[in-house]
Structure 1
Amino acid sequence: MSEWQAIILAIVEGLTEFLPVSSTGHMIIASALMGINELPITKIFAVNIQFGAILSVVVLYWKRFINSFAFYQKLLLAFIPAAVIGFLLNDVIDAMLGSVLITAVMLVAGGVVLLFVDKWFAHAQENNITYKNALVIGFFQCIAMIPGVSRSAASIIGGLTQGVNRKAAAEFSFFLAVPTMLAAAGYKLVKDLLKLEISDIVTLDLVKIRNSFDVITGDDLRLLLIGNVVAFIVAMIAIRFFINFLTKYGFKMFGYYRIALGIALLALLAMGVDLRV
């Protein structure tokens, strides 16, 4: 992977991670078009540049993160379903992530849902997220373990079903991304890049931990640094754009976009293009 390819993937990640359009689908297309979808570093890179995107949320909403203990209680409550289900179904989820067909189908299906979300939840006007709301949003987020669903879309719709308005639901989705993506990216970093098992860390197997850092090359670190910086900057811009756009226009345009992208993926698959990542 070259530096410019790393920058392009980081831009795609930053633009799509917090929008209801599925960053997975976009990363698959981008890596396939650049011919790097089969490189071992690509999957690791795609997961770990999420650290930059996570940091953008913390920087933009830093006041909320020092607001109150209740804020963290709600985030923890919303995070628990994904943590438990993700741990129990890790192998199943990994298998689904390898299916571009599932991603494409869910892009289209999710796009159809977004066409009607504004109408279905026009009554949602609540600003406050209660503990019950947080838990329900957490369960909705688990649907995004199916590739192509979009974590952002699932969690925002979860908030809307609880009567929370679009802006508040979107912002809570951003906040919930911090523990969720941090856990997922951290786990992938340990497992795929450092070649460690969680048991090695829990038991403090210092030999394995020390040796694991020998598998990281200077090029790996340089590309990850570049990717995280670019993803951080682009994600900050994307978040601001999304909140303003969502408040004014709703979800319909994102729905049309998802449907078009899903159909494009299905067409590429039908033509025999290798989109594995």
Structure 2
Amino acid sequence: MEILTAIILGIVEGVTEFLPVSSTGHLILATELLGYDAARWSVFNIAIQPGAILAIVVLYWRTFWAVGTGLLRWEANSVSFVRNLLIAFVPAVVLGLAFGDQIDALLENAVVVAWALIAGGIAILIVERLARTTNVYGIAGVSTAQSIKIGLVQCIAMIPGVSRSGATIMGAMSLGIDRRTAADFSFFLALPTLTGATVLQLYKHRAEVTGGDVELIAIGFVVAFLVALAVVKAFMAVVTRYGFAPFAWYRIVAGAAALIWLSSK
């Protein structure tokens, strides 16, 4: 039964990690809906996130290779690429370490997730309608000031249900960055952010993780990786054609349905 649970949650993670719908929020709602112990599975939910991140490494391996070789030659574009991501990563490190316990407490609150889904959906609709963007020609073209602001906006996603990808993409677009670059920035920023969050959570809860938990995490990791491989390509196709509005309306409907269901329990 626990293996089936790991597979289900791995699918949820793989589907939602890069969509602006909040993977953590969906994992929390899934554990609540299926009657799982939220505290029991909270570490698992964080630990399988790098599985989805690995999908980005595989899908964008040419970019990683180009940036890596460019750094060896100290090329300006590669240096700017890495600099911008590191700058955007810093706020999450500072606030994550400072408010780790408060963040952990929110990870078991499904009502917070439901309200955050609704609020985030409304925010996406507003940004989609009002943002005036221009092509900045990739992550290297993002300014230092913009990178800092994207990093600060990402921290809002420490509230489960907000969506890390949604916050960073909408934050970037509100700063005038084109949709494609905003999505790419979010994808690549996920690498240090979610890897750091996983390492921190596993370290904090290392005494609670048993051999069986490691096996379940490995299963969830692999499932999340395989599912995310398919979802990222589909996501970019939808965004290119329809924008982010479909995800906004989904968030609003899902959040409202969750609130109704939670209030009836």
Q: TM-score, normalised by structure 2?
A: 0.89
Q: Does residue 118 of structure 1 match 2:112? A: no
Structure 1 stretch displaced more, 8-17 or 127-136: 127-136
- Out of 34, 59, 75, the residue aligned to residue 85 of structure 2 is 75
Deviation string 1:109-140 (CA, Å, 9 cap, x unpaired) is 11112223222114443333222222111111
CA RMSD in angstroms comes to 1.7
Is 1:117–1:251's contact at 8 Å kept on the other side of the alignment?
no
Q: Letter of the aligned partner of 2:79 in structure 1? A: F
- Out of 141, 150, 155, the residue aligned to residue 142 of structure 1 is 155
Identity %: 46
Deviation string 1:177-201 (CA, Å, 9 cap, x unpaired) is 0000000011111111x22xxxxxx
Q: Letter of the aligned partner of 2:4 in structure 1? A: W
Q: Letter of the aligned partner of 2:51 in structure 1? A: G
Separation in 2, partners of 1:28, 1:155? 21
Separation in 1, partners of 2:134, 2:156? 21
Partner of 2:224: 231
Gaps of 5+ in 2: 68-77
Is 2:134–2:178's contact at 8 Å kept on the other side of the alignment?
yes
Displacement of 1:51 in angstroms is 1.6
Is 1:121–1:160's contact at 8 Å kept on the other side of the alignment?
yes
- Out of 179, 183, 191, the residue aligned to residue 170 of structure 1 is 183
Separation in 2, partners of 1:220, 1:26? 21
Q: Does residue 52 of structure 1 match 2:51? A: yes
Is 1:5–1:34's contact at 8 Å kept on the other side of the alignment?
no
Displacement of 1:25 in angstroms is 2.3
Partner of 1:246: 239
Partner of 1:202: none
Per the alignment, do residues 2 and 92 of structure 1 end up closer, same or farther by CA in structure 2, a change over 3 Å counting?
A: closer
Aligned length: 251
Partner of 2:198: 185
For 1:96-135, list aligned pairs within 5 A.
Answer: 96-127=106-137, 128-135=141-148
Separation in 2, partners of 1:220, 1:86? 24
Separation in 1, partners of 2:171, 2:127? 11
Separation in 2, partners of 1:129, 1:63? 20
Is 2:25–2:162's contact at 8 Å kept on the other side of the alignment?
no
Q: Secondary structure at the match of 1:13?
A: helix
Partner of 1:24: 24
Separation in 1, partners of 2:192, 2:38? 29
Deviation string 1:88-121 (CA, Å, 9 cap, x unpaired) is 1112222222322221111111111222322211
Q: Secondary structure at the match of 1:138?
A: helix
Deviation string 1:159-190 (CA, Å, 9 cap, x unpaired) is 11221111110111010000000000111111
Separation in 2, partners of 1:84, 1:98? 22
Displacement of 1:220 in angstroms is 2.0
Separation in 1, partners of 2:32, 2:129? 36
Q: Letter of the aligned partner of 1:33 in structure 2? A: L
Partner of 2:249: 256
Displacement of 1:2 in angstroms is 2.1
Deviation string 1:4-26 (CA, Å, 9 cap, x unpaired) is 22111100000001110011221
Partner of 2:2: 2
Separation in 2, partners of 1:77, 1:39? 32
Q: TM-score, normalised by structure 1?
A: 0.85
Separation in 2, partners of 1:248, 1:81? 33
Per the alignment, do residues 266 and 117 of structure 1 end up closer, same or farther by CA in structure 2, a change over 3 Å counting?
A: same
For 1:208-227, list aligned pairs within 5 A.
Answer: 216-217=210-211, 219-227=212-220
Could you list the runs of 4 or more consecutive aligned residues of structure 1 that deviate by over 3 angstroms after TM superposition?
122-125
Is 2:24–2:161's contact at 8 Å kept on the other side of the alignment?
yes
Separation in 2, partners of 1:85, 1:173? 18
Displacement of 1:237 in angstroms is 1.2
